[in-house]
Amino acid sequence: MIKIELMEFCISDKEQRLLTKDQLAEKMCVKPRTIDNWMKVGWLPYLKIGKTVRFEFSSVMEKLKSYELGGER
């Protein structure tokens, strides 16, 4: 019963679910190798659980927006 409720929560809250490297690459319109490079230089926050890497999309966008330049009026 608890597993079903958790699954329903994950499905209904797509922006907060954890993404794989391939899912993030697709969402960002880049290749998975680019995600690897960004991770290596520290541009992307990620979670490492054993050998598994996952990304929280809202955290990734927050970090990338910190590099935003220009646009001041």
pLDDT tens digit sequence for 11-43: 445 556 899 999 999 999 999 999 999 999 999
What is 7-48 written as a DSSP string?
A: HHHHHH-GGGSEE-HHHHHHHHTS-HHHHHHHHHTT-S--EE
Residue 31: the pLDDT is 97
The pTM for the full model equals 0.71
Residue 65 CA, distance from chain mean position: 13
Confidence of residue 5 (pLDDT cuts 50, 70, 90): very low
Length of the chain counted residue by residue: 73
Each domain of the chain, given as residue ranges in start order, spans: 15-65
Indicate the fold that domain 15-65 takes in CATH.
Answer: Arc Repressor Mutant, subunit A (1.10.10)
Residue 22: the pLDDT is 96
| Token pair of 27 as six digits | 């969402």
